[in-house]
Amino acid sequence: MKVSHWLIPLALATAWPIQSLQAQTQEASTQAPKLVVSIVVDQMRADYLTRFEDLYTGGIQTLMSEGESFINAHYSHAPTYTGPGHATIYTGTDPRFHGIIANDWYDASLKRSVYCVEDDQVAPVGSSSDAHRRSPKNIRSTTWTDELEWATQGKAKVIAFSIKDRGAICAAGHYGDAAYWIDSDAGFVSSSHYMDDLPKWMMRFNRSHDPSSYMTGSWDRLLDVSHYDALAGPDQSDFERVPKGAKSATFPYDLKAMQSAYNGAFKSTPAGNTLLVDAALVAVKAEGLGQDDITDVLAISFSATDYLGHAMGPRSQEVMDMYLRLDLDLKHLFESLDLLVGKGNYLVTFTADHGASDNPMQAKADGFPAELWAPADLEAELRVLMHLALIDNDKVLNLSNDQIYLSSREKDLAVAVRNAILVHPAIAEAWTWEEIRLSPDPYAQLRRNGSDKRSGQVFYALKPGHLAYGPTGTTHGSGYHYDSHVPLIFMGKAFNPQAMHNERAYIRDMAPTLSKVIGIASPSACTGNPLWVSPANK
Ligand SMILES: [Zn+2]
């Protein structure tokens, strides 16, 4: 990390020397790996592991056969989005403490929506676009990667990659060396929070590995179509959206034509995953990750799975094929790390930031009682209900993230709003902010874990399988099983190969688990529990 960073957020730094000392006095962990490879697959439902299990031959197969699996791992917050999910993975706590309550949330004092990693105080690096003024300043906890930097006096190298800025920034945390994300024109970029200029190796990589250079030939199924018909259903479906730049939502895809029609097309194809692995491996070599006894971190958040998942839904041949190809990209990653870092010298964690729902119209066509609302229609209908309950429209500032922002914290107003919207047929339950603090209802607790002062004054949950979204593809955000249940696998010499745990585990447990294996303090606001017991204490 850069030395100057030690001086920047004083409010955070003043609390740290004590923790740093604690970390120093902890016994040196004999289990500490030379490199932690932290893999997050955006929108990967837990059933993508088991549904395609027989067809995985690469890195996912290795994780499933050589890793320690927690097959009932969940998020304990809602809404379940990319920003909150990644922040929870790295801080070991829920949004109510790390503060990333959504990707975007309404700020009543600014009278506008704010983005979770926006920061107009930093400059873009590698691009001149204001879209890359990004930093972790909104994250209210340290990450385990921050604690690793402190425990090693900044000697640990922490480098994070993603297509999405928030996918990389939550991993690199406040003190990591680098978070890199993608600009469709410029390639990998960063911000002045992390560096003044891109390193030479990254500039070279951007020149030689332009995203469009990955978009040649056609994308067709990896395996025979019969596998896809059996495990995903027919390729032609009314419930899939044509990916941006493509002509139809069916195989094969002309990648070059897609990319020339839309320069971000690569993000929704397997190329978006391959590009990240290629860049990550160049970083391992150029930065010498995993070459000494100080634990380094390589974090990769694969975003193409989310972009494609939103367009296609979980029952599409395209999503299935992307996972079969990600399996091969991960095989390449692990085989390369075996050579560069050494088998047994690196630890891999594998999870997702959230799952995804079935497409409600597809479920409905199968006879399941799901419903779909256009987001604008749902908001309009809820506003009508509030109006009919004589609630002054001026007092309703904003509806977002299944929350309603009101002009005051007045209890009677929140109760009136809650009662008014409860009659809507899409809504399963609604709570005032006071009620979610006290309710024993597990779904209210998910909302509580997902809230802080950045949240609204009334919360609601749609019925299971109900979405406010477009007619094709899918989304996520609820607290239901399909959004909360994600893969959780640890692979490395500290873990038991092939061990499989059925007990419920939480994604907030990942950070304290890694802190314990490495022998450092857990993140500052950590509320999770370690899932790992050191051999000496077994
Ligand atoms: Zn998403």
pLDDT at residue 447 above 70?
yes
Q: What spacing in Å lies between the alpha carbon of 163 and ligand 1's midpoint?
A: 13
Q: Is the pLDDT of residue 30 over 90?
A: no
Q: In the chain, which residues fall in CATH 3.40.720.10?
A: 3-118+141-176+201-359+482-537
pLDDT confidence of residue 533: 78
pLDDT at 245: 87
- Burial class of residue 30 in the structure, from the number of CB atoms within 10 Å of its CB (0-12 exposed, 13-18 middle, 19+ buried): exposed
In the chain, which segments carry CATH 3.30.1360.150?
372-462
**Where does the pLDDT of residue 29 fall: very low under 50, low under 70, confident under 90, or very high at 90 and above?**
low
- Cα(231) to centroid of ligand 1, in Å? 22
Does residue 474 surpass a pLDDT of 60? yes
How confident is the model at residue 280, as a pLDDT?
98
282 CA to middle of ligand 1, Å?
Answer: 28
Cα dist from 47 to 476, 482, 529, whole Å: 15, 9, 24
Residue-wise pLDDT tens digits, 307-341: 999 999 999 999 999 999 999 999 999 999 999 99
Cis before 211? omega within 30 = no
Q: How far apart are CA 205 and CA 420, in angstroms?
A: 56
Ligand 1 centroid distance, CA of 81 (Å): 6
Q: Which residues are within 8 A (CB) of 404 and not within 5 positions of it... i.e. 6 or more apart?
A: 382, 396, 398, 417, 421, 456, 457, 458, 459, 460
Task: Give the mean model confidence (pLDDT) for residues 491-495.
Answer: 95
How many angstroms separate the alpha carbon of residue 307 from the centre of ligand 1?
7
Q: 82 catalytic, yes or no?
A: yes
Residue 237 Cα to chain centre, angstroms: 28
What residue type is 524 in one-letter code?
S
CATH entry, 372-462, from 3.30.1360.150, 3.40.50.300, 3.40.50.1000, 1.10.760.10: 3.30.1360.150
CA–centroid distance for 198 within its chain: 24
- β-strand partners of 254: 218
- Angle at alpha carbon of residue 331, lines to 325 and 332, rounded to 5°: 95
Cα-to-centroid distance, 21 and ligand 1 (Å): 39
Neighbours of 214 (CB within 10 A): 19
Instruction: Flag whether pLDDT at 25 surpasses 70.
Output: no
On the CB side of 149, how many CA atoms lie within 13 Å of its CA?
25
pLDDT (tens digit per residue) in 196-240: 999 999 999 999 999 999 999 999 999 999 999 999 999 999 999
Least Cα distance to 64 among 269, 331, 276, 280 occurs for 331
pLDDT recorded at residue 538: 64
pLDDT band at 498 (very low <50, low <70, confident <90, very high): confident
Instruction: Give distance in angstroms: CA of 80 to centre of ligand 1.
Output: 9
Residue of 62, 80, 82, 143 marked catalytic = 82
Whether residue 244 has pLDDT greater than 90 = no
Q: How far is the CA of 301 from the centre of ligand 1 (A)?
A: 13
- CATH fold, domain 3-118+141-176+201-359+482-537, is Alkaline Phosphatase, subunit A (3.40.720)
Kindly give the distance from the C-alpha atom of residue 82 to the centroid of ligand 1, in angstroms, as a whole number: 6
Q: Which amino acid, 460?
A: Y
